[in-house]
Amino acid sequence: MAPYCVLVSRLQQALSKGVRRYHASRVLCQRAKVAMSQFEPSEFVNYEKLEKNINIVRKRLDRPLTLSEKIVYGHLDDPAKQDIERGKTYLRLRPDRVAMQDATAQMAMLQFISSGLPRVAVPSTIHCDHLIEAQLGGEKDLRRAKDINQEVYNFLATAAAGVGFWKPGSGIIPNQIILENYSYPGVMLIGTDSHTPNGGGLGAICIGVGGADAVDVMAGIPWELKCPKVIGVKLTGSLSGWSSPKDVILKVAGILTVKGGTGAIIEYHGPGVDSISCTGRKMATICNMGAEIGATTSVFPYNSRMKTYLSKTGRAAIASLADEFQEHLKPDPGCPYDQLIEINLNELKPLINGPFTPDLAHTVEEVGAVAEKKGWPVDIRVGLIGSCTNSSYEDMGRSAAVAKQALAHGVKCKSQFTITPGSEQIRATIERDGYSKILRDVGGVVLANACGPCIGQWDRKDTKKGEKNTIVTSYNRNFTGRNDANPETHAFVTSPEIVTALSLAGTLKFNPEVDFLTGSDGKKFKLEPPDADELPKLEFDPGQDTYQHPPKDGSSQHVDVSPTSQRLQLLEPFDKWNGKDLEDMLILIKVKGKCTTDHISAAGPWLKFRGHLDNISNNLLIGAINIENDKANTVRNALTQEFGPVPDTARYYKKEGINWVVVGDENYGEGSSREHAALEPRHLGGRAIIVKSFARIHETNLKKQGLLPLTFADPADYDKIHPVDKLSIVGLKDFAPGKPLKCIIKHPNGSQETIVLNHTFNETQIEWFQAGSALNRMKELQKH
């Protein structure tokens, strides 16, 4: 017999339509509360509120809604009065939860402590995944990380009441940990990691933000987001052979480029969606790399594969509830998209993107010839699988299936080969099921459950800095120097199974679709396309318990930060705007070309200073190329005329009480969510960043710290500014939303030019600037 709620649903569908159906179903169908996660039994999934808000907005807009709109508008603070215009208005939202990784959590928690609030207002967690350096292998690297980062881990574990703590070795935050425990259809989660959108693989809206945004949500303040546009990606056909879901996002990246998704949510739909394997997880791979095209986030509609994954990870009750509300977890028929891309999965070939940018797409078939033509090294030094993008059970299984074929012919990897499990649960399960042994037998080294080489936490020994070489990874980013701090490392991103195949061959010139390997017996053999279970036949093995519950009462907690610590430093408020125009500012650097957050605030060895603003400021813009001399980390001091490191020059200007600006190119600040790339210029005396265009998260981070992110009204004006000029930004007394500012360029010969600078500040954000930062403004409001 059909469940009572289903019978009620059928009855009221026959009797009524539209909004009235909502009232009938919810009055007649009383249901038990369902916890958001096993770790927070008193925090419940609230689909009723989501539905109520969606119905209010649907009535106002009077049109079909995309899935993205349903979930985003379903979390509006005031759905009845909120102005809603895609790409223009700012939405005030109430996310359900916050997740932070250990590198960005340090500054987020230092800011939260500065707010003076006793505990967080929404469920929040910290995940220790960024501070573990890949060196010798999983267990040894984990022990070393716990030892050298003990001060930071102790701080994060006790920094605020109500914050759950995932210990080192738990796994990667936006990857398996969020998917296994916190992401579910319709939830809105923000995370201080740019790959938080991974959770969209389970039908969630998960958005990467800076720490100051996380503080707003943890403080119970509505969170602001510019109303996203929605780019639809219609999938038809089905994947086969060596093609994988990774190829879907590599294809989209090739179409949209690294900034084509800026200000938009990528919404996948169409009949091809149901063909994508590995419930939630492979869809998550696609959502994860949406960050590489600048997207606010990405999302898939709820389907049976997600239900299976939820049930397999102990959340069958959420799956049942999602079934009842599934009309709100899918796009409406005929909903409008701002842009529509169609991909026929039947025609999709295996892709490999790079080097130096994740949107430079090649087929695996052609990349070897392209590399030879371009002078890129074709011999592969290291193959690396894992990271938050591809480290699921199925990912490991497909790679093991390739490796098993090679072992059957007596073949091992010609390249070095590393494996990074996505979580302790994945590590334990692939160990139990034999995948780890196969991957070790073929020559692999299993690293700790952490980010590792993907974010530059790699103590690489096989090459010297400046040595030209090639690596292939299943990661998401391949910016210059990102993985190993070597600007001559040519990094390519592809699927785990292609990485494994290429590592066996040791060259980019190998195409597993047509080429042969030679076995130990001298006979040639061809690798068959891999196949693997998307979920384990047995239950997942949880492995070691790595979760620490937060204290229920934080009144007795006391956070100590030593004034002599080199890892942690309490924050001092930034100075308020003095009410005057910013006149005769020096140009710290005019950046040439791509400038990611890795260029602005490098990771790798600098991660250890993420909780100490003054120390980490010593890496400010050290990777950016100075247009004056085509060199990194060497700029002219306008006062001494000597060339020196960027941070030293900024400190000199600050000591002399002189304001400075940075001038940049397109998509400035793409990449990571790290707000240190905004905190550092503010700390060292910067006042404005003037560029052709910004990446979304970085622009917001700059605003939060009281800086002026401004864009050229005419991009050609970039060429009018020379590194030796002085700049004045005028009109700040009349600073208002939608009203451009003027910039007076003063050349050394005494001549002047005036150009127009645009901005995207709203009234609240202007108040941040005037108060000196968003945190300063929060404190002002608390006093009132």
Distance of CA 643 to the CA centre of its chain: 35
Instruction: Dig out the tokens for 576 from the structure.
Output: 């308020």
Q: Is 532 helix (H, G, I), strand (E, B) or coil?
A: coil
Instruction: Dig out the tokens for 53 from the structure.
Output: 């808000």
Distances in whole angstroms, Cα of residue 684 to Cα of each of 605, 616, 639, 687: 21, 11, 16, 9
What is the C-alpha to C-alpha distance for residues 666 and 592, in angstroms, rounded to an integer?
10
The dihedrals phi and psi of 704, each to the nearest 5 degrees, come to -60, -30
Distances in whole angstroms, Cα of residue 362 to Cα of each of 250, 349, 422, 651: 9, 10, 27, 43
Q: Which helix (H) or strand (E) holds 445?
A: strand 444-446
- Residue type for 697, please? I
Distances in whole angstroms, Cα of residue 78 to Cα of each of 54, 82, 83, 528, 730: 11, 6, 10, 55, 36
What does the buried/exposed string (b/e) look like for 154-179 if buried means 16 or more CB atoms within 10 Å of the residue's CB?
A: ebbbbbbbbbbbbbbbbbbbbbbbbb
Name the pairing type of β-strands 119-127 and 161-166: parallel
Cβ neighbors of 783 (< 8 A, separation 6 or more) are none
Instruction: Dig out the tokens for 636 from the structure.
Output: 């002219």
Closest by Cα among 453, 483, 447, 451 to 465 = 483
Cβ neighbors of 451 (< 8 A, separation 6 or more) are 129, 130, 132, 172, 387, 388, 420, 457
Distances in whole angstroms, Cα of residue 33 to Cα of each of 122, 321, 589: 18, 9, 56
What is the C-alpha to C-alpha distance for residues 103 and 155, in angstroms, rounded to an integer?
12
What is the C-alpha to C-alpha distance for residues 320 and 677, in angstroms, rounded to an integer?
43
Instruction: Dig out the tokens for 632 from the structure.
Output: 């990194």
The dihedrals phi and psi of 105, each to the nearest 5 degrees, come to -65, -30
Distance of CA 733 to the CA centre of its chain: 36
What is the C-alpha to C-alpha distance for residues 711 and 606, in angstroms, rounded to an integer?
29
| Residue linked to tokens 């785990």 | 496
What is the C-alpha to C-alpha distance for residues 334 and 307, in angstroms, rounded to an integer?
25
Could you tell me how many helices (H) and strands (E) the chain has, helices first? 25, 32
What is the C-alpha to C-alpha distance for residues 543 and 306, in angstroms, rounded to an integer?
23
Q: Is 574 helix (H, G, I), strand (E, B) or coil?
A: coil
Distances in whole angstroms, Cα of residue 398 to Cα of each of 458, 470, 516, 599, 742: 25, 23, 19, 34, 56
| Positions marked catalytic | 129-130, 193, 477, 672, 674
